[in-house]
Structure 1
């Protein structure tokens, strides 16, 4: 039976070692089509390198909230869910990116589409796949697995899609609905908030009968990323976070 596989990843946040491990894993599986849901920058030192990797490989990418903030120099607003320590670290890390990211790369971020709609025809079946960073009208909406089903069902209906794939929260999940529909969060490549801190991405497998999402989680050299953070102007808070050293995951 004819089938198609694509890979979707999100929230790299400047973590080049994690991105390279994910891309290598996708390549080993023979998956040629890759899509990124944004947030290429902030919190690890390789913001420019991550952007250039996405550009060089021509990976279709949408605009995350961090990409938008860096591209257009949008002011940082404190989040009530963050501790005073994280708020201070967040301001410093984003300010670092605003100074570090090149003008050319900021232009690239500024031109990213807000979301993407894909359609795959397999046999007589068309599968509609909606890619967003966090939502249809906002790239800064926090939708967790615990959200009411109606929220995701409304998004599927509004987008006229069989599956809606998002990132942003750094917490992966798969929620099945009637008529072979899904809402999926592909997790985070470079700043997972899951307890294992593994790099996470999504494989979608489609044939004429069904579309199946699979969350893939792989190891990467966290210590290498943490050391690079500590050697940079990015607050050590983010190194401790990756090593899961008693840091809040809100």
Structure 2
């Protein structure tokens, strides 16, 4: 079985269209979206409608949660006063242009999706969230202390935890237990379709490959494939520059930061 996961489109329609072209070639058995459909670009309605139109099960990202409630708080963590000011422009603009139907849809999105597999004698739980199981806007960066990450997965009863929000993809395998009780858990950041921040301007998503041998007891029995795809970055950047949004968002797309 092959499951596709994508996240953090952030109103970037050219990137979403390129993602759909890529995923149609991959032919996964299931597709899930981990949220943040809107914010930072000019196509929140088009992106929302495109994902709805495909019937893709979708989570609420922190930006979706705020816009769904017409809030001026996106739940974002900005590092500087300039970033905070630009962020305020972004959510104000998004709240102005998003349609009533699209806002109502964003408001109804769930906070997580849990899938339970019974592939062998052991159960395998896959938990999909936007930020973390604890908070929609918690950042789980790759350098997080191992015991902290282990505790988050253990408390959430997640053998495989998939999330976005940081826009920086990674896969960490964590050991839980000792001796005959030893098992493996997977923390997977699926990256960003429309606003990557890892220095690679291409959009990204993840394919999870399950087989009848996939088990919590076998370290490498789950295959995690990170897929990158090209899209028209300049079209997305120029759309920002032709709007009331800060030009810094266009530069961030060009530099993937």
Distance 1:125 1:78 in 2: 37
* Structure 2: runs of 5+ lacking an equivalent: 176-182, 214-220
- Name the residue aligned to 1:218: 229
Cα drift, residue 131 of structure 1: 0.3
Cα drift, residue 20 of structure 1: 1.4
Structure 1 residue ranges (4+ consecutive) displaced by more than 4 angstroms after TM superposition: 77-81, 123-126
- Name the residue aligned to 2:129: 132
- Name the residue aligned to 1:149: 146
- Name the residue aligned to 1:203: 207
Distance 1:29 1:217 in 2: 12
SS at match of 2:27: coil
| Native 8 Å contact 1:9 1:189 kept in 2 | yes
SS at match of 1:240: helix
Distance 2:118 2:80 in 1: 47
1:115 is the counterpart of 2:112: yes
Cα distance, 1:79–1:102 mapped onto 2, change above 3 Å: closer
1:82 is the counterpart of 2:79: yes
* Structure 1: runs of 5+ lacking an equivalent: none
Q: Which has the larger displacement, 127-136 or 6-15?
A: 127-136
Cα drift, residue 61 of structure 1: 0.5
Cα distance, 1:110–1:116 mapped onto 2, change above 3 Å: same
Distance 1:208 1:80 in 2: 41
SS at match of 1:180: strand
| Native 8 Å contact 1:175 1:184 kept in 2 | yes
1:239 is the counterpart of 2:250: yes
C-alpha distance after superposition, 1:134-159 (max 9, x if no partner): 11121111110000112221222122
- Name the residue aligned to 1:185: 189
SS at match of 2:172: strand
1:194 is the counterpart of 2:191: no
Q: Which has the larger displacement, 102-111 or 227-236?
A: 227-236
How large is the Cα RMSD of the aligned pairs?
1.8
Q: Which has the larger displacement, 38-47 or 70-79?
A: 70-79
Distance 2:85 2:79 in 1: 10
Cα drift, residue 86 of structure 1: 2.0
1:35 is the counterpart of 2:32: yes
- Name the residue aligned to 2:67: 70
C-alpha distance after superposition, 1:185-242 (max 9, x if no partner): 0011101111112211111001122222121122111001011111122221111111
Cα distance, 1:77–1:134 mapped onto 2, change above 3 Å: closer
Cα distance, 1:78–1:160 mapped onto 2, change above 3 Å: closer
Cα drift, residue 79 of structure 1: 6.6
